[in-house]
Structure 1
Amino acid sequence: MSIALKNIVLVVQATWSGESLDAVVETVSIDSRSLQNSSHTLFFALVGPNNDAHTYIKDLVHSGVKNFVVQYIPEGCAGKANFLVVQNTLTALQDFAAYYRSTFHFPVLGITGSNGKTIVKEWLNFLLSPDFNVIRSPKSYNSQVGVPLSVVAINEKHNLGIFEAGISTVQEMAQLQKVIQPTIGVLTNIGTSHDEGFVNLEQKIKQKLLLFEHVSVLIYQKNKVVDQCLDPAIQVFSWSFEDPKASVFIFKKQTDAQGTLIEYRYKQNNAAFKIPFQDNASIENAISCLMVLLHFNYDSTLISSRLALLFPVEMRLKLKDGINNCTLIDDSYSSDFQSLKIALDFLESQKKLENKTVILSDIFQSGLSNEVLYAKVAQLILSNNIHRVIGIGHTISEFKDRFQNCITFADTAAFIDNFETLEFANETILVKGARSFEFEQIVSLLEEKTHETVLEINLNAISHNLNFFKSKLQPKVKIMVMVKAFGYGNGGLEIANLLQHHKVDYLGVAFADEGIALKNGGIELPIMVLNPENSSFSAIIHHQLEPEIYCLKGLHAFLKIAKQKNLQHFPIHIKLDTGMHRLGFEKEAIPELIATLKGNPHVKVQSILSHLATSDDLVHRDFTISQINLFETLSSRIILELENHPIRHILNTSGISNYPDAQYNMVRLGIGLYGVSNDPLEQKYLENVGTLKSVISQIRTIAPGQSVGYGRKFMAQSTTNVATIPIGYADGISRGWGNGVGFVIIKNKKATIIGSICMDMLMVDVTAIDCREGDAVVIFGEKPTVSYLAKKLKTIPYEILTSISQRVKRVFYR
């Protein structure tokens, strides 16, 4: 995004006051706490029932923010920044987003309905991402604020949008339609959510259908009430379980323990697909996804293969084991009337324990007076047969008498102080609170402490490996350590802190956000960003990162910003392409590169670098030598012309060992730090850094002829003891490691993985191992090593390490 302030003034119909209308806006923010706020941020000071962002403007001006959309200029701020004064900042945000959306011309799916919006959106992103660069709403950003914030994240690389829109009353959808401007509509299930905001069901449907006024096609489940509300001019693509006249007729669904088989007819042809779900909501959501794929002309075979891989979308409401035989429902990050109803429905479905307790904070964003709101909440609690209510917050405490068997506390701290007196046992507990109440502390107290799947990181081993490679360096040669991709999957900030302690010279990251996270975490070492996008240059400058520049377009873009900011000798790194043919200036571009840089006061060439394609394979030694020679020629020419003495570096981990004469002024240490080498002799001197561990969740015995896992890929030939381990491909374990190929270590013995690896778990044969539920399991570490897994899976250790999901807890130890 790069939009002149003078254009935005017209878009939001503002009165301007300030320094310069020529200022350029690159990002939009509504959060005064965001560390990404900069001089090119446009801050919308939203006003809500409990907060007025105008109160934070003075601090934002002091921190360097220059551009604001406001309803009034706060006292003492006039003349210190650019202010666009409007009647309503929320409307201005929406108008700005609508303008920004209109500058892009690719297909956009608009999704609305009562239920299933977020799941359908996330599934469609998964299903379509192999073929499109998708921009979608983050999480459940479907509100009057969330939708515009989602839309302004579009960039030039996207060629498909998926945005969800949620409304709770009339006159909301028309504004969201202007912002999203969908070309394809998807209407999900119409239920009773938000009914109180509408006169009747027909009004609610008509309001939701406003999103689709200008779509080329509307995808929906054929329904008489919806059909009556539809504009006849809208082209529809419908599906139905009952009406054969629908575009797609679902004529059979069959559910078993593995999921649901769905058979359908489209254009006189029958086809089928299977999903790993049995519930009706998931079935309907999957069919909505099917319809989109059909609209995009995917063939039935590809549709079937992709839908079979659908996964549960983790929502905020989670079921956990609690202390003292309790069941815990964790909905500790939101507190509004509508989501309370959903949570109570979920609570009611848990019939394991008779007694039910609700821990509830003050409720926000209801649109009702407190008197009306808490009368409704009390009635809702009563109708759900809740035995005990624990209210936390000043407002709910004022309405304590509305509830039966209710105790209240002023804040979370007071609850924690009295925790031992509350006696939680043999009950289902719903914990529901606004984020500001930090109810995660309550969940931590109530949650049963169990073993977890963890990646243990040995910091001593990292120190050892660093010193091993340092010992190979010539005197005064600097070392840059790569901590990109979350420290090769091991944990970026923690490892960066250790490297800072060891006083390495540079850190390397792939993208700006990785470097920003390190800087925000207190890292003071210089950080080079290897693959900076032009849109990130302002953030790079703001956080004092150092960009790698690899093409003339990127150089001119950076110099433009550097000139605007009046930078002096800002450090940049020039990447040369010596044969990798991935990124970098080629030989032909060197004269223009030199001409552009020569005499430019805004930047300083801090280093010149290139990358070796085959430093780990001595079969290609001649090619590597040719790369080094070309690097010498090109870099020497640049140095001579610029009369500068930058750092030069071309060696990676393998290069340090195999080409010691090309160390120049600095080397870049990557995978070697994490204990992996391509040289078997060198590997002996490195220490293992990461050990991926889990536990046995359950052990069962199956008879001959019984199967394990999806697709029945494993069939027992004899009585077999099967252990289930809570780690799967969503955690980074390749599905290719299943079905007898791979193994884990239990009690120092190999346990073969049987059946297909699931999203969140895998199963192993423990017939010959004396083990129990809760016993430790090693997936990789000293044995099997990451290199062993990579060899068997015909990949590289980098992929194994970086594939470990960040949902796997990292535990660092010395």
Structure 2
Amino acid sequence: MIDFNSLAGITAGEIVLSEYSGEIKYLITDSRKSFFAGGGIFFAISGERHDGHVYIKSLYDKGVRQFVVEKDVEASHLPGSNLLKVSSSLMALQAVAKAHREQFNVEVVGITGSNGKTIVKEWLFQLIVPYKRAVKNPHSYNSQIGVPLSVWQLNEQHEVGIFEAGISVPGEMEKLEAIIQPTVGIFTNIGPAHDAGFNSRKQKIQEKARLFQHTEHVIYCKDHEEIDQYLAGKGFSWGHHVDSDVRIMDVVHNERETVVNIRFGSDHVFKIPFIDKASIENCLHCITYMLFKGYDSLSIQEGISKLHKVHMRLELKKAIHNSYVIDDVYNNDLAGLQIALDFLSHQKQHESKSVIISDILQSVADQQKLYTQVNELLKTANVTKIIGIGPALSRFKKLFDMEAYFYETTADFLKQHDFTSFRDEIILVKGARTFAFERIVRTLEEKIHGTQLEINLDALTNNLNFYRSRMKPETRLMVMVKAFAYGSGSLEVANLLQFHRVDYLGVAYADEGVILRKNGIYLPIMVMNPSEDSFEKLYQYQLEPEVYNFNIFRQLISFLGNRPMKVHLKLDTGMHRLGFEEGDIDQLIGLLQKHSNLEVKSIFSHLAGSDEATHNTFSREQAEKFERLSGRIMQNLHHRPLRHLVNSPGIVRFPEFHYDMVRLGIGLYGLEANKLEQHRLQPISRLKTIISQIKHIKEGETVGYSRKGLAKEDMQIATIAIGYADGFSRAFSNGVGEVWLHGKKAPVIGNVCMDMTMIDITGIDASEGDEVEVFGEHLTIMEAASKINTIPYEILTNVSQRVKRVYYVE
């Protein structure tokens, strides 16, 4: 057991404060993921965009009492705590994990390669757990921080550890090897991923293979010649090559499975439940490991028959009775539960939080200890209700000291539980695959037709961090969530932005701000279009209006009397939309001095042409005018308000005009208006629907309203469940628009209807119920916009609110 007093020796650090006697249970590296405060130790890591030291006091206030720092920290502000000073908090984290690993003499499988690491890890875990007590990385925790957090899970009950390791530059793998200390290795393959970080493919192989520098046996595919050249003699190989230890003699594909004939001592036949090349390769790595470890063919076949596609994302969906459901129904282990609970704890839409959980299918010697720990995790995450499904949870139900219900099977729960009891809450559904919890999610989901807008919150975070990388550390950030967050969902996006500590949110109307306030958003919110009838809501919900002319100024003063309110002054420097003009400034200063109950939080303006170089001169003229006018106002105020001028394109093109704050809009949602840095952004949205019906049309027949679609030959058409009421513009009619179906573009035929659209699928093998992409990975929003001569903003914001939104993180 590692205690705080031993950390100085492990990390070569200096104990500054030692006043807390609790044990170290959890390693915390992200201050936002700190609901495991009791027994947690926080490593304050200084990164490119975030400095963990800034959040030490807030973590202390949440109950964290153990800290590892690399900067001087005022110990008197942390009474009753432990404080360790080190040269590098990251290196200290890795040293602690290394020391922890060295306490256990168990088999550890180390996995690396360009692709397939996570799949191989997950499948190998599924194959091993019926026979041995195993532990693995949660999700894709394979980085310099993720690996230490993963290895920390090892305890005296485990017999096997399965850990993947990923690197992007030379020198990283030695650190991960020292932490994982694998006894057996798996090298999946080599490909172009992270090529930019290495001088050559050979160097990348050498760097990745450093994971196995103290490992006697490494499993790999001998057909990968570059890997074979490096590992030959050390590896335990499989492949078609005659010298492979496990030789592939024959491979037969059919519609649903792949039959592989393997020679290893004698001949073995395995039926793999996949037909794609990547899944077959990943599965053969696992089969080879199992053969290497002496498992018999029948046991291996039984295991691989139960393998399923690894579901690597958490999905947040609207649910019945004004609730949300978090869908995580494909695996259930303790580390995965911690990640899911962490995600649950970030959702502020409702205070009430429920967890529907299955038995944890990890073979552990002490199940009472396991479920005691589950109860502690649920309480720490402020879960208000648990529904446990499975014989083990039912057996240990007395361990759970909260509102609790238990059922032996999923079918029992669906039949017996009162679903009207779910109301105004966040519901995490977390279950092992065998419990088929997807049936529960389908029951809880809000019933809307088959069109969905998927929103990738990881991509949104990537885009946020890109724009932050273009800002000075002291510059503040306002993010626009108006227009339903550009169609992406104001509340859900705002919740993520609050988690990532942006400084301000911007909405168009007071009602948008009220919804955010009612659902747990406490960030400052600027309202861009206030009206007299919204003043009561502005005041009640502490929303901050934009004041852009004397009419709205006087109406606001009349409403407030002497009551205070924070406001934002809009100046018109050339956009000629809203804002005070130069001739208004003296009068405006006089009114501000007279009515000191108005606190000016910011002064701002808007560049009219920041996205086009042809308007650079005009943009600079606007900036000069803004400097002059805002300066005059500030000279006559008793405090210094923030100033902001640039929007998304301006953040990239005009760093000299960032002032105190910048406003991020469309860029957050994956569209770089300048097109200069589009490659740095990730699309966050994918609009998809389903085929409702397929018809065969003969030459000369017509399709749709006004008979606009004419069959020039015999053809096959499909009706898809999307129309202009969903945001698929009528301008896409008659071949202008296209959708993506099974790797091919299918044009619209006839007029787009209100709720449906017909597409030409002649030559495409499709069935009713198949998924169709309207825009996303294969058909971009920019392509869709260009088809109808509009801008991507319109495509995004036109997606109707009746279209179901699904939010996910990988």
Shorter-chain-normalised TM-score: which range? Answer: 0.3 to 0.5
**Relative contact order, higher structure (CA 8 A, sep 6+):** 2
